[in-house]
Amino acid sequence: MQSTDGIVYVIGHTNPDTDSLCSAIAYAYLKNATAPKDQKEKIYYAARRAGQINAESKFVLDYFQIDIPDYLGDIRTQVMDIDVNCVEGVDENLSIKKAWKIMKEGMLQTIPIVASKGTLKGLLTIEDIAKSYMDVYDSHILANAETPIRNIVETLDGELLHGNLDEKVCSGKCLIAAANPDLMESYIEKDDIVILGNRYESQLCAIEMGAKCIVVCDGAMVSYTISRLAESHGCLIIKTPYDTFTASRLINQSIPIGYFMKSDHLVTFSRSDFIDDIRETMAKKRYRDFPILDWNGRYIGMISRRSLLGARKKKVILVDHNEPAQAVDGIDEAQILEIIDHHRIGSLETLGPVYFRNQPLGCTATIIYQMFKEYQIELPKDIAGLLCSAILSDTLIFRSPTCTAIDKEAAYALAAIAEIEPEEYAAKMFQAGSNLLAKSPEEIFYQDFKKFVLGDVTLGVGQITSMTAKELEEIKGKMIPYLQKALVEHEVEMIYFMLTNIMEESTELLYAGSGAKELAIAAFALPADTEKIVLEHVVSRKKQVIPALLIALQE
């Protein structure tokens, strides 16, 4: 069963923007390129996304022919993160005796019964085997269970002198021929299995009465005449070294386990099930072991409650964020190895020390570009293009106040490698990302939305950018009523939405929630009777809007 032991996920924040997505892809590439070649456990760094990508990011990935990273919406521990007991599945025609031997040698409480294509048919437990011994069954049990002749021969350590091992007992009863032939004629019927000794008369009587099979005990010799007669009557002959008492006690152990297995309402789990979910299910059931199925419903192995104790946390590297509210679900259950970010330091806690690189730059991609240079790893054209796109996006083509000389220098160096002209390429990128008129309010809102905890207040701030004032004005009508809905869905006190005009370097700030308008007016020192909040030279959520709101809250 494939596990996630050797995988480290590199992932950005939920509602990923171009920086978050491209930085994750580029940093995963860098980590794989710098990983020690002689390490015992091969580690692979895999880029993932924590949400739906926006049109701008899709344009970037398509332009540089990079596949969209797989979605990872929840990083809680799953069945694939625990050791599965690879108990081999058995056929339903296996005898009770053989099943008991397998369970005893493997110290198993449960064995799975599987079909030829690996699908699970049922489960057999120690309790089921105990019942097969202790419960009283009538003499037709071998026929009712359609017991294979092969099982009877193997269970009795016998030898089939005449007949077909692949036949099954489908009718008749099982009995011991302890009486004389005259009395035997009154109770032996067609298709019966008769356990007897070396008496010629008894053997002859059983065959002539239409017995399906005679079991000759004590290893007694069977005469040529009896063999020929049995063959002509279609009667099988099994010779066993056991006496009649032992043979009669053992023969029920030849019954196929399919007769006793549990097949209805089986509790199974898949590789993708979360430990939190299955722990509750396990607590409600009396079973000790539970089967695991793969994506196609085929049996893989077994787990028990004890298996959950050895669950391994997923390993993750966070890029472009360091706050729980912006992280993938279940981040508190993951093992965070590194954080690469350019935002304010939030409240994310880790169990142990991590590599944390946080620089006051305009873009996480700039930090990762620096790391490529530090490790002296050559940048491929496509990776350089991704990093350059991220810088152009996050700095709004160098117009954002968060942009530094280092960001600008990095962007031009990366553009040269990627063979693009920054301003011309950025215009196409923003144009692709700002095709907003055909989108729903939800699609626009979640292109770039983040939650922030400022003291005792949790608020959400979304942002959309456009090259034209006309487009922003047309989508404004969609967003104002939607903010009330988003306020309830996210359970925050206030929500703001930035309509940012890249070319004019201004933002109209929409708002919803009790006190949201008053807080914004205070944060940006606007007149108290302000209705439409337009912020000149404000384009950065990180450096201009969030700090201003934080200061206003503290005051």
Q: Are 391 and 428 in contact (CB under 8 A)?
A: no
Number of Cβ atoms within 10 Å of the Cβ of 294 = 15
Q: Tell me the mean pLDDT in the region 437-465.
A: 86
pLDDT digit string, tens, across residues 505-532 = 999 999 999 999 999 999 999 999 998 9
**3-class state of residue 239 by DSSP:** strand
φ/ψ of residue 310, rounded to 5 = -100, 20
Could you tell me which CATH class the domain 441-554 is placed in?
Answer: alpha beta
Nearest to 155 by CA among 286, 49, 253: 253
Write down the pLDDT at residue 186.
Answer: 79
Write down the pLDDT at residue 471.
Answer: 86
Q: Tell me the mean pLDDT in the region 404-409.
A: 97
Per-residue pLDDT band at 130 (split at 50, 70, 90):
confident
Write down the pLDDT at residue 5.
Answer: 66
The residue among 543 and 72 whose pLDDT is bigger is 72
pLDDT digit string, tens, across residues 308-338 = 888 899 999 999 999 988 999 999 999 999 9
pLDDT digit string, tens, across residues 169-178 = 999 999 998 7
Write down the pLDDT at residue 15.
Answer: 87
List the beta bridge partners of residue 338: 317, 355
Write down the pLDDT at residue 269.
Answer: 94
Q: Are 292 and 302 in contact (CB under 8 A)?
A: yes
Q: Does domain 7-77+313-433 have CATH number 3.90.1640.10?
A: yes
CATH of domain 146-254: 3.40.1390.20
**3-class state of residue 83 by DSSP:** coil
Write down the pLDDT at residue 454.
Answer: 77
Gyration radius of the chain over CA positions: 37
Per-residue pLDDT band at 132 (split at 50, 70, 90):
confident
Whole-model pTM: value is: 0.73
Buried b (16+ CB within 10 A) or exposed e, 238-252: bbbebebeebbebbb
Per-residue pLDDT band at 1 (split at 50, 70, 90):
very low
Write down the pLDDT at residue 337.
Answer: 95
Per-residue pLDDT band at 4 (split at 50, 70, 90):
low
Write down the pLDDT at residue 284.
Answer: 82
Write down the pLDDT at residue 367.
Answer: 98
Q: Which fold has domain 81-133+259-310?
A: CBS-domain (3.10.580)
Write down the pLDDT at residue 153.
Answer: 97
Share of the chain above pLDDT 90, in %: 66
Write down the pLDDT at residue 286.
Answer: 73
List the beta bridge partners of residue 114: 120
The residue among 134 and 158 whose pLDDT is bigger is 158
Residue extents of the structural domains in the chain:
7-77+313-433, 81-133+259-310, 146-254, 441-554
Of 55-64, 328-337, 428-437, 533-542, the one with minimum mean pLDDT is 428-437
Q: Which residue has the tokens 């005990």?
A: 217
Q: Is 70 exceeded by the pLDDT of residue 222?
A: yes
Q: Which helix (H) or strand (E) holds 460?
A: strand 457-466
Q: Is 60 exceeded by the pLDDT of residue 346?
A: yes
Rama region for 213: left / alpha / beta (φ>0; ψ in -120 to 50; rest): beta
Q: Tell me the mean pLDDT in the region 119-141.
A: 85
Q: How far apart are CA 149 and CA 165, in angstroms?
A: 5
Per-residue pLDDT band at 409 (split at 50, 70, 90):
very high
Write down the pLDDT at residue 468.
Answer: 83
Write down the pLDDT at residue 465.
Answer: 87
pLDDT digit string, tens, across residues 88-106 = 999 999 999 999 999 999 9
Nearest to 205 by CA among 228, 227, 177: 177
Q: Tell me the mean pLDDT in the region 130-157.
A: 88
Alpha helices in 463-538 (DSSP H): 469-489, 516-523
Q: Residue 488: which residues within 8 A CB-CB, separation 6 or more?
A: none
Instruction: Sort strands 457-466 and 449-454 into parallel, antiparallel or unpaired.
Output: antiparallel
